[in-house]
Amino acid sequence: MDRKKIVIFSLAYFPKPVGGAEIAVKEITSRIEDIEFHIVTHRFDPSLPREEQLGNVFVHRIGDGTSYFAKMLFVLRAAFAGMKLQRIHTFDAAWAMMSYMSIPLMFMRFLGVRLPYALSLQEGDPFEHVFDRWHIRLVRPLLRVGFRSAIVIQTISTFLARWADIVGSSAAVVIPNGVDTKHFAQSYPAAAVDEMKDALDKKMGDVFLITTSRLVHKNAVDDVVMALTKLPENVRFIVLGTGPDEASLKRLAAKLRVEHRVQFVGHVSHERMPKYLKACDIFVRPSRSEGMGNSFIEAMAASLPVIATQEGGISDFLFDEKRNPDKPITGWAVDKDSPDGIVAAVKAIMGNPEKVRAVTATAKQMVIEKYDWDVVAKDMREKVFERALGMSPVAH
């Protein structure tokens, strides 16, 4: 029997640029071998081939460039590319990765090509930021139709599930992103971890905070830099990631005279990231908004205590002793825009090693049980793709 075929619309895909949504596509599709996946994505790097197969995904790159106009034009180009590919491959369904990617499917419908589709919401910004900007208001009616026309809307958090309610859809199902628990929870020889500590210039008695984060305003790396001014000199901050705020963050560290305590490491691949986590002591990312945040559960899988706000989707898995007395404790919650809250949480962790061991063990077990990619892929197969493909009853 021929395999079912699903075409994915995603602005970005491997090898770059890569974020949580792109990782989700790769991890999920690699675990579903009885469906053939094709992806229509933007060609950000001219050195990348127009077409290639990566794992269980046939990649079709269209357009060129990194400008805002090129990314906006991708929506229209993707619709025509999807129509062309449909004539060749005869897809059974489509998968729109992020809200804007429902628009190519709407264009295709207007032009006579109708595919049942699933819509995934992975956005990290508030609804108002995504939909109330002036240039988005022009296409907001089309986005609403895109939401309502989806067979199923998969959201990575209960926070994002409310978006479906706002636009009048009752087709939402919450399936979070996952983590490769074996990779992030693995044990390394002491010598390998010591080697990483040496590379980071970690001395005896140092306490290393670490974040894995795109350097943008919503991720609040600036609050951690400000917190350093009220923390002991032996507390230092390791920043993995790049982004448009990197220069301003470096200026802030210099202005506050803590630049010698902040290391901007740059981009680090997922393959190398666990060693960095193991070499550090506390994960901190006090996000101002968050759809979910893979970085938090990766840190939990690596047995690091986690400091975070409970903004957006973080509240699905970050439970605090004082704020969530009815939940198993998995981390230390702070208010957004509160460097003082970060200071208090760091000191609480430094002063309570036994409590830290109990909390990190609870968090790690939660991640293994609920957030492993094998669990996520199974749920996506049964609750999303089968519904889009008409293989199981559709709930309305």
**46 and 140 in a common domain:** yes
Alpha helix positions (H), 37-180: 68-89, 102-110, 127-131, 134-137, 140-149, 158-166
**110 and 242 in a common domain:** no
Contact 146, 103 (CB under 8 A): yes
Structural domain tally of the chain?
Answer: 2
Is the pLDDT confidence value at 1 over 60?
no
**174 and 288 in a common domain:** no
Describe the strand order of the beta sheet including 117-121 as a list of residue ranges. Answer: 51-54, 57-62, 35-42, 4-9, 93-97, 117-121, 152-155, 172-174
| Region 315-338 average pLDDT | 97
| Region 174-188 average pLDDT | 94
Indicate the DSSP class of residue 393. P
The pLDDT score that the predictor gives to residue 392 is 54
**130 and 239 in a common domain:** no
The domain in which residue 194 lies consists of 181-370
The pLDDT score that the predictor gives to residue 396 is 33
What Cα–Cα distance (Å) separates residue 329 from each residue in 150, 220, 244, 340? 36, 23, 34, 21
User: What spatial distance separates the first Cα and last Cα of the chain, rounded to whole Å?
Assistant: 30
Helix (H) or strand (E) holding 184: helix 181-185
Contact 312, 302 (CB under 8 A): no
Is the pLDDT confidence value at 378 over 70?
yes
Q: How confident is the model at residue 179 (pLDDT cuts 50, 70, 90)?
A: very high
Q: For the domain that residue 109 is a member of, what is the CATH number?
A: 3.40.50.2000
Contact 308, 334 (CB under 8 A): yes
> Dihedral of the CA atoms 311, 312, 318, 324 (nearest 10)?
70
Percent of the chain whose predicted confidence (pLDDT) is above 90: 84
Backbone angles phi, psi at 58, to 5 degrees: -90, 120
Is the pLDDT confidence value at 393 over 80?
no
Q: How confident is the model at residue 394 (pLDDT cuts 50, 70, 90)?
A: very low
| Region 157-185 average pLDDT | 90
| Region 206-216 average pLDDT | 95
Q: How confident is the model at residue 290 (pLDDT cuts 50, 70, 90)?
A: very high
| Region 73-99 average pLDDT | 97
What does pLDDT average to over the chain?
93
Contact 97, 21 (CB under 8 A): yes
The pLDDT score that the predictor gives to residue 127 is 79
pTM (predicted TM-score):
0.88
**56 and 169 in a common domain:** yes
- Does 256 fall in a domain? yes
